[in-house]
Copies of this chain bind each other. A is one copy, B any other.
Amino acid sequence: MSSDGENQTMEFDQTALAIIAKPLAPSKLHRRLLKLVRKAGKDKSLKRGVPGDVSPIDVLTHIPVLCEEANIPYAYLPSKVELGAAGSTRRPTCCVMIPEPKSGTFSVGVILMSDNIELSEEQKLLIQTNMERARRLISSKRPLEDTVQQAAVNETITTSRRGGFLHPSQPDSTLKDTREARRLNDDIIVTYPLEGNATCRHCTSIELDAVLKTHFSINVCHNCREIHSNNYRLLTKTTVKDEYLLTDEELADTSVLPFMTKPNPYKSTWSDMQLYLSMHVEKFAVKKWGSLEALQQEITRRESTKEARKEKKFKEKLKELRLKTRSKSSSALSSRASRRHVHCFEIVAAGLKRCTECQLEVEEEDI
């Protein structure tokens, strides 16, 4: 099953790129890259190069080459995905390099592209190859990723009885599945004599889903649960807060919104997951927000304010950097930079690199 999910991410033609760009359906590899970037950012180990007055593409075109030479796997990501999920920048094109925890050498490069950059067939192929290499590296190197990987395996084990239920027409079933968490426990409750069993609320089956019956006192069979999967999904507390805009306070009233717990898949010693039933949550959210449309409107509103905040913050930072950098790079030097070449940087000060050929100065900032 897990191999299913990963195979899908390898197709990376223009069509797939458009699909992957949807914020709500990032592929597994994308999500891993984002997590990786985010984690590296937290560790203050992520380096982000911000060029001064030259067009960003001028600086970036050589990165793939450098990566190739240094045998560093890299990958292109549509920028939209990054913006939403990893909370990165609004720059149309930029590059992040993720160093090894110990040695400081770079292990993975990620190039964030604007959506409207045209790719040649050759580039596409290169991308595909490197995506694969990056994927392999990621799944084998990073402790965080290892944990998640491990968790996925554990889930698969506990759900062995339904391991093969994934439908081929669901390209992002991996993601969906994790969020639904229906595979966590699929035991069936049947007692003897059979006549004493309650029947499914939708049909006459007595093979009731154990999770729903035990934790939510809902009698529903596996079949009907899947038929009405929108009602019987399990949602984590975080998801509910993010996608239904409920508050901690509201989620604390178990008489209105009961929940079950499961060990935290990231690390079992961390706080348990709190899983709410989608039908409860949705009903509550409709009561709170008026309608699902109104809810969606509020979500959009908050997202746009978030975007605005980010943009403002970034502009401030950029202006600062520009002020710091502009004085150092004279116009005479930058005109020389127009000649096409691969920048070769030397470090001239803490966080400041200069190309030995064109004197382009690039400031590194920790993010």
Residues of A near any B CB (own CB < 8 A): 289-290, 298, 301, 304-305, 308, 312, 315
Residue ID in chain B nearest A288 by CB atoms: B316
A322 to chain B, nearest CB (A): 13
Provide the bound-state CA to CA distance between A86 and B289, in Å.
25
Q: Which residues on B sit within 8 Å (CB–CB) of A289?
A: 312
Q: Which residues on B sit within 8 Å (CB–CB) of A315?
A: 290
Provide the bound-state CA to CA distance between A290 and B308, in Å.
13
Q: Which residues on B sit within 8 Å (CB–CB) of A312?
A: 289-290, 298
The answer on a CB contact under 8 Å between A301 and B308 is yes
Provide the bound-state CA to CA distance between A305 and B302, in Å.
9
Residue ID in chain B nearest A298 by CB atoms: B308
A266 to chain B, nearest CB (A): 34
A323 to chain B, nearest CB (A): 12
Residue ID in chain B nearest A319 by CB atoms: B290
Question: How many of these chains are in the complex?
Answer: 2
A290-B312, A301-B308 given; name 7 further pairs at CB < 8 Å: A289-B312, A290-B315, A298-B308, A298-B312, A301-B304, A301-B305, A305-B305
Residue ID in chain B nearest A290 by CB atoms: B315
Q: Which residues on B sit within 8 Å (CB–CB) of A301?
A: 304-305, 308
Q: Which residues on B sit within 8 Å (CB–CB) of A304?
A: 301
> Can you show 9 pairs from A to B with CB atoms below 8 A apart?
A289-B312, A290-B312, A290-B315, A298-B308, A298-B312, A301-B304, A301-B305, A301-B308, A305-B305
Provide the bound-state CA to CA distance between A59 and B24, in Å.
49
Provide the bound-state CA to CA distance between A301 and B305, in Å.
8
A310 to chain B, nearest CB (A): 13
Provide the bound-state CA to CA distance between A289 and B316, in Å.
9
Top 8 A-B pairs, shortest CB-CB distance? A290-B315, A301-B308, A305-B305, A301-B305, A298-B308, A289-B312, A301-B304, A290-B312
Provide the bound-state CA to CA distance between A361 and B16, in Å.
61
Provide the bound-state CA to CA distance between A90 and B238, in Å.
33
A102 to chain B, nearest CB (A): 41
Residue ID in chain B nearest A287 by CB atoms: B319
Provide the bound-state CA to CA distance between A298 and B289, in Å.
25
A239 to chain B, nearest CB (A): 22
Q: Which residues on B sit within 8 Å (CB–CB) of A298?
A: 308, 312
Residue ID in chain B nearest A301 by CB atoms: B308
Provide the bound-state CA to CA distance between A301 and B308, in Å.
9
Provide the bound-state CA to CA distance between A290 and B304, in Å.
18
Provide the bound-state CA to CA distance between A308 and B297, in Å.
10
Provide the bound-state CA to CA distance between A308 and B301, in Å.
9
A286 to chain B, nearest CB (A): 12
Q: Which residues on B sit within 8 Å (CB–CB) of A305?
A: 301, 305
Residue ID in chain B nearest A308 by CB atoms: B301
